[in-house]
Structure formats: C-alpha cells, structure tokens
Chain A
Amino acid sequence: MSTYGAWQPVIGLEIHAQLSTTSKLFSGASTAYGAEPNTHTGLVDIALPGTLPVPNRAALDKAIRFGLAVGARIAPHSVFARKNYFYPDLPKGYQISQYELPVVAEGSLSVRLDDGRTIEVAIERAHLEEDAGKSLHEEFHGATGIDLNRAGTPLLEIVSKPVLYSAAEAVAYMRTVHTLVRWLGVCDGNMQEGSFRCDANVSVRPATSDKLGTRTEIKNVNSFRFVEKAIEYEIERQIRALENGEPIVQETRLYDPARHQTRPMRSKEDANDYRYFPDPDLPPLAVGADDIAAVQATMPELPEARRTRYVDALGLPEIDAAQLCADRATADYFEAVFAALPGEAKLAANWTLGEVSAALNDATLPIEQSRVAAPALAQLLARVREGVISGKIAKDVFAAMWAGEGDADAVIEQRGLKQISDSGALAAAIDAVLAEYPTQLADFRSGNEKLLQFFVGQVMKRTRGQANPQQLNTLLREKLKA
C-alpha cells in the first residue's frame, strides 16, 4: 500500500456475468452468440405492443447457485424493477433489473493474492437483469444499425463492496469470481464475446481517512489486463489531481486500451434519472426453501475447498493445488487420474500440470477434449509405478498415446518398451558393459565413484533405456564392488 504514499485507493467492482442459459431472461429467444443481426429476437425482445415478460427459472437457479457459493442470503421474494431510459438498442425504453430487493445479498469471497495474502471480499449483492442490444455504428454511412440479438440476455450483476485497495487486489478478486462462475457452470466466462465484463468504481482518500473520496466509474472493461491498467491509471490520475488541489468530478469514464488511459464519458449532471419502480408486469420472484435445497443438492465442491483439500489431505504443494483449481475441468481431470491411482497425488498432479497441460497448449484444446483422457493417463502412470516403464520412457509413451497410437499398454507392447526387470538379462548387460570398459572399471574400483553414472548410462544405452533404474542401480553396485 505504500506504493501510493499518503493516499489509499478504494475500489469496488460491478461484474456483469452473462448467465449461460439457452433462452433469454424474459423470452424464449435463443442466447447463442454470433448469429446474423436480429435473428434471435422474438415478439418480447423487440418490445412489440402487448407483449409481456415471463421470467426464465433457469436464470434464477443460476443466480441462486452463485449466491450459495458466496455464502449469501437468497431473498425469498426479490423484485424486478424497471430502469427507464431512452436508447435505440433498448427496445422497451426500460431495462428490467433488480433494484431494492436483489435475489442475492450479503456474500463474501476469499481471494488469494499473488503476494501470498488472502483477503475476504464482501459482496454487497448480485441481481438479475437483462442485457441491452447493440448499436452498430460502422457500415451504415452516418446512420446507426441496431442488433437486438443480445437484448434480453440474462446477466448477473455482482456488486462488491468498496473493499479493494489496489488494482492488484481488484484483478485478483475479478479472477476469483471468473473462476467461480465458470466452476459453477453459471457463466462461460468468455470475455471476448462479452460474457464477463466489469465496471470499476475508483476513489482515492488520504491513507489516514476513513471517509470515502469522490468516485469515478470506469465502464465496460473486458479483460483482466485492461482492468488492472485502467484502475492503475485512474488511481494515479486521481492522486495527481488531489495533490494539485483539483477536485475529483463524479463521472463515468471510458478506458482507452490503445492509450492505456481513461477519459470522461458523462458527468453526474448529465446522468439519467432512471425512475426505478417495481415492474408491474412481474410479480415478486418467489424462492422457497425447496428451490434453494434443489440448487444446493447440485452444488459442486467449491474451488477454495478443493484447493485446501489438495494441500491438507493429499499433501500437494500450494502452487500445484492452486493451478489445478484454476478451473473445474482441470481439477476434475486430476481427480479422475488420482482416483484410479490412489496414493499418487503428486504424480497425478505433475502429469496433469506438465505433459497434459503442455500438449493441450500445443494443440489449443480445452482439457475436456484432451486426446489422452484421465483413465488412459492413469493407466500409463500405473505402469510407471509398477516399474514396467521408467518415467522417462513414459513421456514417449504419452506422446504416442496423444498421437493416437493406442493406450499405454498397447504402445509399450508395440514399441517393445517394457523395462528389463529380469535380473538375469540385466546382469548380462552389466557384465558386457564392464567387459567393454576395463579402464573405467579399474578407475572406479580405485575410488572414482563418480563413474557410477557413466556405467548406468552405458547399460541404459545398451538396453535402449528399458532397464529398470532401481534394479540396475542395485545390481550394478554389487558387480562394481565384486
């Protein structure tokens, strides 16, 4: 915190997570991304006279799921409100959102920072709302095109309390939320497509003060790096202004990624009076104990709990546990490998994060589509443990499996990679090597024990790497001493 000298920045984030439902929040139209403009639009989405919104229960269940994951209160009755403003991509002239009574209130999330600290971030609320359409300013020669495909798409707006004190904390929190919503299956987290975006409220106050300074809001930033840069820029801009005795203007600012700076969009004076009021078309959204129980019954083990378990119960290093729990599919893959290979957590983790991860990267595949599935990897690792092949050979076998040459046993068989564990055969190979290098043998016996590795290497070479390393070691030592 000393980086900001006598000043303390205070940040709160409003994260918009698009809920991964197949249909919109208040209509049956599809939410699929990338369709021809205005093809995913029903009567309700274009706000034809006489049409009415009908809430999508699947979106509600996803909101509840998020609420339970952050230990929040789920409102037994939450209320949809209308946020009134005119804009061409807002067909009804109002957005249906939640205002006074959101579905999720008062939660919190543990966030691990890069410096090793863990902070608890208070979440004020998470509410359901519909997205607007898009205005297309290009290719219309001075006119504006409207695409209403996105209009009505369900969003969960997750509002933190202003309890983040640096850009790094803000981004760490945003990443944790990003992991969580994907983990829960409530949002696909795709930032390029705008499924996960963020507004940041930033203010600065003297480090000795506990009163919040005037804040600005940075709108619609859609990458972690830009959020960090935008907040960093905004903090410095505000500190500079305050140090020069200039007041901070409460306003909405836009981040310009090309210049890495924020610039004013509109000030409080031209801000809309949204005239919120409860939407009379929608009765309060009732959530009963049974609805909550039904969602609870399908809750996965949460990332934080799993990370702790990996460290405490499986004895994995923190770093491995954190990497495995960065997304649920990776953690699930690891679990599946480990389940078939009890007691070998570290081996399973090393391979998941090592070979598998690297191969997926090269092939740009998600782990769900790994060409070596978890059971197949477990079989391969079992052969290593059983001593059938060495760890080194296993990497070649893995590459062959990845290339589609069959499962571990088939590759080992086909390529004749089985380790030589037969002591007779090994003894013969050792004898041959010792006979071939009499000088080195004499040298060793006169005290140059470093030559042990030379002999290991030669035997390995002779057995094309298939000698069981432990057996080789024992047998070789015996013969060298003889």
Chain B
Amino acid sequence: MSVSIAQLAQALRERKISATDLTRQAIDAAQQCADLNALITLDDTGALAAAERADRALAKNVGSTLVGIPFVHKDIFCTKGIRTTCASRMLADFVPPYDASVVEQLAGVQAVSIGKANMDEFAMGSSNENSFFGAVKNPWDAARVPGGSSGGSAALVAAGIVPFATGTDTGGSIRQPAAFCGITGLKPTYGRVSRFGMIAYASSLDCGGVLARSAEDCAHVLTAMAGHDARDATSTNAPVDDYVSALTKPLAGLRIGVAREYLGAGIDAGIGAVVQAALKQYEKLGATLVDISLPNAALAIPAYYVIAPAEASSNLARYDGVRYGHRCTDPTSLEDLYTRTRAEGFGAEVQRRILVGTYALSAGYYDAYYLRAQRVRRLIASDFTDAFKTVDVIAGPTTPTVAFKLGEKSADPLAMYAADVNTVAVNLAGLPAISLPAGFSEGLPVGLQLIAPAFAEARLLNAAHQFQLATDWHARMPEGVA
C-alpha cells in the first residue's frame, strides 16, 4: 500500500474503493503480519463500524482528506471502551471511559482506527523490547528491532498495513523508529498537539505526533491533530498553519545548518555517507549548507535521563492498585499492596526509571541532579536559539546506527540510551523535528533528521516533501510484506 493518503482519499471519493474495503484490507494485512507483533489490540468490529460511517459521509461527499483512511493509534492514547495498556501489565486490562483529544480529533475527521499499536512499556525504550506484550520486529529484518518507543506504529506503516499511525515522542520515540523502519515521522512542537488522554511518561517532554510514509501524508494527519485544547494547560493557542499548502514552496534560499556535533564520533560511517548524500541533494534543490555548532549537544543524554525519569517517578505514582489497573492478590497491608502491585505491574526498565527519578528528586540530591539538569536544558535550548539566528533548519542523522539486533542492547541500558543521542535535545528544547528516509546502509533504512524553530512544522514538512519529490527512498518497501 505504497500509495499516498491523498491518492487513497481520491480513490474513496471516486468510489474506486470503499472505506469498508480499505479497512478490511488493513485488518487482513495486520492479521497476515501478526509475526511482527506490532498490534496489541485489533479492533475489527469498531473499525468496520467506523468505516461504514465513513462510507456514508463519502456518499454525501463531505469531510476532509482523512475520511475513511485506516490507521492505528499507539496504545498510549486512551480510547473509550477499548483497552489501553501502554504495553504494561499494570494496564493490561484497563478500559478507559474516555477518549484522548487526539483520538477524538481523528475520529472527528472520520479516519478509521483499526486498533492499538505495540510500544515500549509507558513509552520507555528505544527498541520496543520493553513491552509486556513482547518485542516488535522490524519489517526490514525480523531479527532487528523497529526502534522505540513507537515501534508498533512504525512497523505497521513500514509494512504497508496502514498509511499512518499516531505516536508519541519524549526523547525520539517517533523519529528513531521512523528512521529504523524507513518511514517519515514528525514530532511537533511541544504544546502543538494536546496531551489530554495521552498516558504520561515525562510531561514536559511528551509530544504526540505522526508516523507515515511521506511528509505529505504527515501534513494531512497533523492538520487533524494540531490545535489548542482547554483540557491541557500546556497546550498552545498559537495559530495552526496550513501544512498542506506549505508543502509546494520551492526550497531556494533555505539555509540548512549542519551541526558538527551530530556528525562526529559515534556515528556509523554508512549513516554519515547517506546523510552527506542527502545534504548534496538539498543543495541541488537550492538550499545552502551552513556549518554550525551546538556546543552543549553532548549534555543532552545525561540531562534527559535525569529529567524524564524524575517526572516519570511522579507520573507513575498513580498506579497503586487502589482504583484501577493491576492489583496484587490478597494484600496483607497497605505497604504490601503498593510494593507487590508495583513490582508485579511494572517491567524492569520502568522500575529502573522510577528508581532513578525518585533518587534525582530526593532531598539532598535534588539540586545536584534535577536542578542541574534543568539548567543544562536551558543551555541546550539556547544553543538552538542561537543556531536559528543564521539557519532555517538543522540537519543531521536521526540515529547513530541503523536498526540493531533484537537483544543486542537489552542487557546494557546505557548503550540503549545512547541510541537517543541525536533526538533527545529536540525534546529538551521543545522543538519540532522530522525524520525522513534518506537512503540505506547495510541494507537497512537510514533517517535524516530536520529540526526547526518552535511552530515551524510547515517549514519542516515543506523541506521534507521537496526532498521526497526528488527522491524515492520513502517509497521503498521491505520485501515480503503487504
């Protein structure tokens, strides 16, 4: 299904295919690709009912581009009446009584959700191996990870099962799996997409976004997801740009900053070569390359792995076995209820981050860890502010390596954390960024990351779309899938 959302929308409008047929195809494809383990919950009944409604809307010729387009939600977005697990034993049977704002928005434009995508537990991970429901496989190589935490979303899009999927990005969780799976992933500006109903990992970093085949497809989906939400106090009421119209703007004069720090040591040679070739392509499109420096880039990982766990340690305190979620059997005391419920309900990585975060916030350590990390965060943000005085976007590899093997890094948390080296700074600064397929290394996809100033999503999508008009990396599909 390497056709664009716009093409699908046109086919639907011209009655060449119905939303019900498209949805059935997606459900069938998902079932055929069950080995990927990319879905936690398949909601075929709900999907077919929604598809029927979409067909009725299409018959009346009403609605936007997304009417009748099947997709998948990352299982971090609360869906009314459909279990929402966050890939955790803690929420394995949790059925929310309400829809997340993003879920409402996509239902509102009558896109058809076929189910809930696998992910790293509570979005903590870079390989999708930290799921209570098992690891997701990379459609390009079943022995490799799809990236994380939105690994299920990325695998489903890469395998052509759905044209797009929602995701969340706290330190790279949309961009890194998009890069590993050869698709396009957009992390918007913090506050651009409502967090209401998106289960919190690290509130000041969590950001809802989209994974799709192309920048153009991302533009259509972001149009539905962006906007102010009174139920999220960190949501912004900055005006929403016309992302689709902005796609066609020529790139002549675009200044692309190439950050030394993103192409230095630790980046695989194959990745570096792909990125250099992509930059040349951009020059051909009329862009100019500017050598820049982000001097505090190396501090991003340590700052992130203090701030994110600190917030997580507090955000995850509500999972106490009292009101919903997993509860240990026959607690003998309140303390027993808490300790056994949480020891049983949370996986190892989640427990590790809760412990790290609790430590970082403790009396006597707060200043040395949490406060210092917040100061570093401001330095990192001001690096970007300075850079954007002379450039329009910043380019670099999304990841230092291609998709690694399942199990390769799971015993070494620090090696795993290093996979986020080029993505976490963007979250710390709250900026928008996109990862787009730029070529292959070792036969596996390589992602190019573009970063823009706050609320310049239209610029990112434009720059990525123009690249995709000139190249076909985004249209490549793994063999042996749908």
Query: A residues bordering B, Cβ < 8 Å?
Result: 43, 46-55, 82, 84, 86, 88, 91-94, 146, 273, 275-277, 280-283
Contacts and interface: CB of A to CB of B under 8 A. Distances in A.
Contact of B233 (A48, A50, A53, A86): A53
B18 to A, nearest CB: 33
Contacts of A84: 313-314, 317, 361
A282 B203 CA distance: 10
A275 B314 contact: yes
B198 A50 contact: yes
A48 B96 contact: yes
Interface in B49-108: 77-78, 84, 86, 91, 94, 96-98, 100
29 contacts: A43-B98, A46-B323, A47-B318, A48-B97, A49-B84, A49-B94, A49-B96, A49-B200, A50-B77, A50-B84, A50-B100, A50-B195, A54-B233, A84-B313, A84-B317, A84-B361, A86-B320, A88-B322, A88-B334, A91-B323, A93-B314, A94-B314, A146-B322, A275-B363, A277-B310, A280-B311, A281-B203, A282-B234, A283-B234
Nearest to A89: B322
Contacts of A276: 361
9 closest A-B pairs by beta carbon, nearest first, are A93-B317, A280-B204, A280-B203, A275-B361, A50-B197, A47-B318, A49-B199, A50-B78, A50-B199
B230 interface: yes
B378 interface: no
A51 B77 CA distance: 11
A159 B23 CA distance: 61
Interface-central residue, B234, B314, B316, by most chain A CB under 10 Å? B314
Given A50-B196, A51-B196, A55-B233, 20 more contacts: A43-B97, A48-B78, A49-B318, A50-B84, A50-B100, A54-B231, A84-B361, A86-B317, A86-B320, A88-B322, A92-B317, A93-B314, A94-B314, A275-B361, A275-B362, A277-B361, A280-B204, A281-B233, A282-B233, A283-B234
B318 A273 contact: no
A70 to B, nearest CB: 28
Interface in B349-402: 358, 361-363, 366, 370
A94 B314 CA distance: 7
A28 B206 CA distance: 24
B472 interface: no
Given A54-B230, A82-B314, A275 B196 contact: no
Interface in B309-342: 310-311, 313-314, 316-318, 320, 322-324, 334, 338
Contacts of B98: 43, 48
A49 B233 contact: no
A275 B318 contact: no
Q: Is the interface of B mostly helix, strand, loop or mixed?
A: loop
A200 to B, nearest CB: 24
A277 B94 CA distance: 29
Given A88-B334, A273-B363, A281-B233, A50 B200 contact: yes
Interface-central residue, B78, B97, B322, B334, by most chain A CB under 10 Å? B322
B202 to A, nearest CB: 7
A323 B220 CA distance: 69
Nearest to B88: A49
A93 B313 CA distance: 10
Contacts of A46: 323-324
B318 A91 contact: yes
Contacts of B313: 84, 275
Interface string B214-230: 00000000000000001
Interface-central residue, B97, B198, B233, B366, by most chain A CB under 10 Å? B233
A92 B232 contact: no
A120 B230 CA distance: 43
Contacts of A88: 320, 322, 334
Contacts of A47: 318, 323
Contacts of A281: 200, 203, 233-234
A141 B416 CA distance: 49
